[in-house]
C-alpha cells in the first residue's frame, strides 16, 4: 500500500480526533488536483503556520495559480499542523503530507516555504522534521526535495542559512518558473545536488547560502560574506515585475471558517511615502499600480468563482492608489444590491476622502483603522510620517458621524529618541478621539488603540537603530495600561519579549542558525502566537550557544558597520537609507517621493528592465538617476 493510500486511510480514521478537521481534509472549492504520475514536477507550497491563516495568504495563492497553470508541474499545499494533529502524526509515525494528493512532503521535488515574518522560523524546522526531511541543508542529498524559501523575512536570509537550500529574493511570479525549469532540466539530465545548486545560482534573484562563507571581526561584529567559487554573485538583486500581471481569481474556498474568508486583490505594489521604520515600503519599491478596470474584472471573476461576500483591496497605502475613487465607485455600482463588503486595510489620514467613506458606508465595511503611529510632531518627523492632528480629529468625527461606532488607531512605541512624554501623548490623543466619539454618537463610541513596538528592520533607514530595551518598553507599556483605560477605550500591545525575539531574528547573521535549531529542539514553535512562544526555550538556546540576544537587537550600529544582509540588493541604495537615518536624528522630514524624488536608487537599479518593458515612469514622476558617489 503506497504512502498516499496509507495516509488517506489514517486520516479518515483520525480526522475527528483533532480540532477543526477541515484544516487537514483538503477538498476546498477551486482546489486543483493533478495526476501525480503524469506530471514530472512536484512542488509543495508551505505556509508554516495554521491553515486558518495560511489558506488566504496571497503569496501562496499566486504561486499555486502560477505553477498549476503549467502542464509539466503541479503545486500542492501544506500548513503547520496544530499541536493535537502533530502529536497524532508523531505518535503513529505518519509523515506530514500535502492536502491535494496527500503525498508525504518528502516525495516532492521542491518544498517551497513562504516566510512573511521571522517568528515562523521554528515552525519551518518543525515541518521539515515532521516530513522526515533533514533539517540541515548540508545533510540533504539527491533523494531529498530542494528546500526553497521566499517572502519578506528572507530579505535577511542569514539566520536560516543552515536550513534553506535556495532563497528566492523579491517577487515570485517569474522566478518560480525559472526555478522549476532549472530543476526539470537537472532532473532529466541527472547530476549531483551540488550541480543542481550551481545551476540554480545562475538565476537572477536566487541566493544559495551554501556557496558563501561568512567572516566576523574580533569584537564579534559581522565582517563580510564571500562567494567561495567563481561565477557566484557578490550581490543578489531582488526580482520585481515591471508590470503587475492580472491578479489570481480562483481563490480556494475553505470548508471551515478561517481568519479571512474573502477575495484579496492587490491594487498596487510599493509605496512612495518613505516612512523610515517601514520594511515593506522600502523593499517593495517601485510603486506599480493595476488598472481599476483590470481589478474590477478580476473581482467579477473571483466572486463568480468563489461566492465570497468580502473583497479586500490590498496595498501598502490604498488611499494613495491613483484611481481609488473610480475603483470604489465601480465596485459599489456593480454590487450595490449584493451586500458585498469592501475592506481597505490601510488608509492614510492625509489622502482620506469623505467620498471614499461614503462609498465604503454603502458596502457595510467592518470598521475603520487609521495608523498615525506617533502622537507628537517630533516623533512623526523622526519616523517621517508627518500628520496634521486637526485633520486626524476631524476625520475621526466624520467616521463616527457616518455611523462607524468603532475606530482603531495604530501606534508604535520604541522608535529612536522617543521620550515618555511621546508615549503620554498617545494616551492624550486616544482620549481626545474617544471624546469626539462620545460627543458625536454618545457612549456607544469605541476607540481601540493598537500599540505595537518598533523593530529596526534590515534595508530601512532605521537599520542602524537599536531596538528599545525590554525595561524601557515595559515602563512605556505600564504607562499605557495605567492611563489608557476607561469607558470606550481598549488597548492592545505586544509582549516585549516577542519584540526582542523578532528583532534578533530580523537582524541576525548565520550564527543564529544554531540558536534557532536549539530553540526548536527545546520545543519552540508557533512563536507568532503570543501565548505559545516558548521564551524559556529561546533563552536557553541563547545561553547554550553563548550568544547575547541584545548584541543583535539592542545595539545601535556604526554608520560604516557591515550588515549580514548587505549582499541582498533591494535596489534602494545604502547612501539613501543612511541619509534618511541622519534626517531622522535631526527630525527632518522627506516629502512623499510621488511628488519629489529622493534618488533612492530603485529607478536606476532596474533601468534595463524598464527599457525592455518600455515602462517609462512607474510611479517615479521625476526620477533622479542614481550616480555612484
- Other C-beta atoms lying within 10 Å of the C-beta of residue 305: 16
Nearest residue (CB) to ligand SF4, 335 versus 618? 618
Smallest distance from ligand SF4 to CB 266, Å: 18
Smallest distance from ligand SF4 to CB 316, Å: 13
Nearest residue (CB) to ligand SF4, 272 versus 540? 272
**Alpha-carbon Rg of the chain, whole angstroms?**
24
Contacts of 282 (CB under 8 A, 6+ apart): 459, 460, 461, 570, 572, 577
Nearest residue (CB) to ligand SF4, 23 versus 285? 285
- Do the beta carbons of residue 82 and residue 147 sit within 8 Å? no
Q: 3-state class of 249 per DSSP?
A: coil
Nearest residue (CB) to ligand SF4, 415 versus 610? 610
Nearest residue (CB) to ligand SF4, 400 versus 603? 603
Smallest distance from ligand SF4 to CB 623, Å: 5
Nearest residue (CB) to ligand SF4, 205 versus 571? 571
Smallest distance from ligand SF4 to CB 580, Å: 10
- Do the beta carbons of residue 130 and residue 137 sit within 8 Å? no
Strands, E assignment, 270-397: 288-289, 310-314, 341-343, 368-373
- Do the beta carbons of residue 280 and residue 232 sit within 8 Å? no
Nearest residue (CB) to ligand SF4, 421 versus 622? 622
Smallest distance from ligand SF4 to CB 618, Å: 7
- Tell me phi and psi for residue 246, to 5 degrees: -55, 140
Smallest distance from ligand SF4 to CB 323, Å: 19
Strands, E assignment, 160-318: 166-168, 206-207, 212-216, 222-227, 236-237, 263-266, 268-269, 288-289, 310-314
Nearest residue (CB) to ligand SF4, 292 versus 602? 602
Nearest residue (CB) to ligand SF4, 102 versus 385? 385
Contacts of 616 (CB under 8 A, 6+ apart): 610
Smallest distance from ligand SF4 to CB 287, Å: 7
Distance set, CA 352 to CA 71, 323, 398, 620 (Å): 45, 13, 11, 22
Smallest distance from ligand SF4 to CB 76, Å: 37
Smallest distance from ligand SF4 to CB 317, Å: 13
For strands 212-216 and 268-269, give the pairing. Answer: unpaired
Smallest distance from ligand SF4 to CB 560, Å: 23
Nearest residue (CB) to ligand SF4, 272 versus 306? 272
Smallest distance from ligand SF4 to CB 597, Å: 3
Closest CA to 229 of 213, 217, 211, 242: 211
Q: SS in 3 state form for 139-198?
A: HCCCCCCEEEEECHHHHCCHHHCCCCCEEECECHHHHHHHHHHHHHHHHHHCCCHHHHHH
Report the C-alpha gap between 95 and 103 in whole angstroms: 9
Report the C-alpha gap between 220 and 290 in whole angstroms: 46
- Do the beta carbons of residue 118 and residue 506 sit within 8 Å? yes
Nearest residue (CB) to ligand SF4, 285 versus 510? 285
Distance set, CA 490 to CA 390, 446, 457 (Å): 22, 8, 28
Q: What is the total residue count of the chain?
A: 629
Smallest distance from ligand SF4 to CB 577, Å: 11
* Cis bond upstream, residue 286 (ω within 30): yes
Name the residue with cell 530542494: 146
Q: The C-alpha cell of 416 is what?
A: 529612536
Nearest residue (CB) to ligand SF4, 343 versus 590? 590
- Tell me phi and psi for residue 30, to 5 degrees: 80, 5
Strands, E assignment, 384-495: 406-413, 446-453, 489-493
Contacting residues toward ligand SF4, per CB under 6 A:
272, 285-286, 593, 597-600, 602-603, 620, 623
Nearest residue (CB) to ligand SF4, 515 versus 602? 602
Smallest distance from ligand SF4 to CB 272, Å: 5
- Do the beta carbons of residue 207 and residue 538 sit within 8 Å? no
Nearest residue (CB) to ligand SF4, 274 versus 456? 274
Smallest distance from ligand SF4 to CB 626, Å: 8
Amino acid at each position: 500500500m503506497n504512502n498516499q493510500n496509507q495516509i488517506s486511510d489514517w486520516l479518515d480514521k483520525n480526522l475527528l480526533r483533532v480540532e477543526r478537521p477541515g484544516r487537514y481534509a483538503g477538498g476546498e472549492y477551486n482546489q486543483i488536483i493533478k495526476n501525480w504520475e503524469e506530471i514530472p514536477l512536484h512542488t509543495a507550497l508551505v505556509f508554516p503556520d495554521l491553515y486558518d491563516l495560511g489558506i488566504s495568504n496571497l503569496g501562496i495563492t499566486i504561486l499555486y495559480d502560477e505553477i498549476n497553470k503549467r502542464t509539466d508541474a503541479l503545486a500542492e499545499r501544506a500548513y503547520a499542523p496544530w499541536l493535537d494533529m502533530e502529536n497524532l502524526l508523531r505518535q503513529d509515525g505518519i509523515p506530514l503530507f500535502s492536502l491535494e494528493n496527500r503525498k508525504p512532503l518528502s516525495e516532492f521535488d521542491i518544498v517551497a516555504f513562504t516566510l512573511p515574518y521571522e517568528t515562523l522560523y521554528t515552525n519551518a524546522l518543525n515541518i521539515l522534521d515532521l516530513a522526515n526531511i533533514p533539517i540541515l541543508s548540508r545533510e540533504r542529498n539527491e533523494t531529498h526535495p530542494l528546500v526553497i524559501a521566499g517572502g519578506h523575512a528572507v530579505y535577511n536570509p542569514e539566520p536560516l542559512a543552515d536550513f534553506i537550500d535556495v532563497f528566492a529574493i523579491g517577487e515570485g511570479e517569474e522566478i518560480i518558473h525559472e526555478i522549476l525549469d532549472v530543476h526539470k532540466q537537472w532532473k532529466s539530465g541527472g547530476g549531483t545536488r551540488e550541480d543542481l545548486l550551481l545551476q540554480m545560482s545562475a538565476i537572477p534573484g536566487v541566493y544559495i547560502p551554501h556557496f558563501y562563507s561568512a567572516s566576523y571581526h574580533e569584537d564579534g561584529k559581522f565582517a563580510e560574506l564571500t562567494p567561495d567559487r567563481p561565477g557566484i554573485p557578490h550581490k543578489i538583486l531582488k526580482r520585481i515585475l515591471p508590470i503587475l500581471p492580472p491578479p489570481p481569481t480562483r481563490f480556494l474556498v475553505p470548508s471551515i471558517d478561517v481568519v479571512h474568508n474573502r477575495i484579496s486583490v492587490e491594487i498596487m505594489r510599493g509605496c512612495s511615502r518613505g516612512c523610515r521604520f517601514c520594511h515593506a515600503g522600502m523593499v517593495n519599491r517601485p510603486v506599480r499600480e493595476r488598472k481599476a478596470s483590470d481589478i474590477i474584472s478580476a473581482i467579477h471573476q473571483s466572486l463568480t468563482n468563489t461566492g465570497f461576500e468580502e473583497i479586500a483591496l490590498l496595498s501598502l497605502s490604498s488611499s494613495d492608489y491613483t484611481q481609488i475613487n473610480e475603483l470604489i465607485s465601480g465596485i459599489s455600482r456593480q454590487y450595490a444590491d449584493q451586500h458585498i463588503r469592501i475592506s481597505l486595510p490601510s488608509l492614510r489620514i492625509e489622502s482620506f476622502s469623505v467620498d471614499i467613506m461614503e462609498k465604503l458606508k454603502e458596502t457595510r465595511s467592518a470598521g475603520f483603522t487609521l495608523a498615525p503611529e506617533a502622537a507628537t510632531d517630533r516623533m512623526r518627523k523622526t519616523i517621517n510620517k508627518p500628520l496634521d492632528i486637526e485633520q486626524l480629529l476631524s476625520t475621526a468625527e466624520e467616521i463616527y458621524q457616518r455611523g462607524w461606532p468603532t475606530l482603531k488607531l495604530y501606534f508604535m512605541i520604541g522608535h529612536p529618541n522617543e521620550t515618555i512624554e511621546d508615549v503620554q501623548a498617545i494616551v492624550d490623543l486616544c482620549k481626545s478621539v474617544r471624546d469626539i466619539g462620545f460627543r458625536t454618537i454618545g457612549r456607544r463610541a469605541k476607540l481601540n488603540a493598537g500599540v505595537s513596538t518598533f523593530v529596526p528592520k534590515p534595508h530601512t533607514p532605521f537599520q542602524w537603530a537599536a531596538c528599545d530595551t525590554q525595561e524601557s518598553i515595559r515602563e512605556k507599556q505600564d504607562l499605557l495600561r495605567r492611563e489608557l483605560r476607561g469607558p470606550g477605550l481598549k488597548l492592545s500591545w505586544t509582549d516585549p519579549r516577542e519584540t526582542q525575539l523578532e528583532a534578533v531574528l530580523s537582524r541576525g547573521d548565520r550564527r543564529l542558525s544554531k540558536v534557532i535549531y536549539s530553540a526548536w529542539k527545546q520545543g519552540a514553535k508557533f512563536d507568532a502566537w503570543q501565548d505559545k512562544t516558548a521564551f524559556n526555550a529561546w533563552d536557553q538556546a541563547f545561553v547554550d550557544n553563548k550568544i547575547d540576544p541584545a548584541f543583535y537587537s539592542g545595539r545601535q550600529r556604526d554608520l560604516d558597520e557591515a550588515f549580514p544582509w548587505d549582499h541582498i540588493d533591494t535596489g534602494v541604495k545604502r547612501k539613501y537609507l543612511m541619509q534618511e537615518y541622519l534626517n531622522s536624528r535631526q527630525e527632518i522630514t522627506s516629502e512623499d517621493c510621488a511628488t519629489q524624488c529622493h534618488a533612492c536608487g530603485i529607478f536606476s537599479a532596474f533601468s534595463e528592465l524598464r527599457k525592455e518593458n518600455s515602462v517609462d515612469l512607474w510611479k517615479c514622476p521625476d526620477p533622479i538617476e542614481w550616480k555612484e558617489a
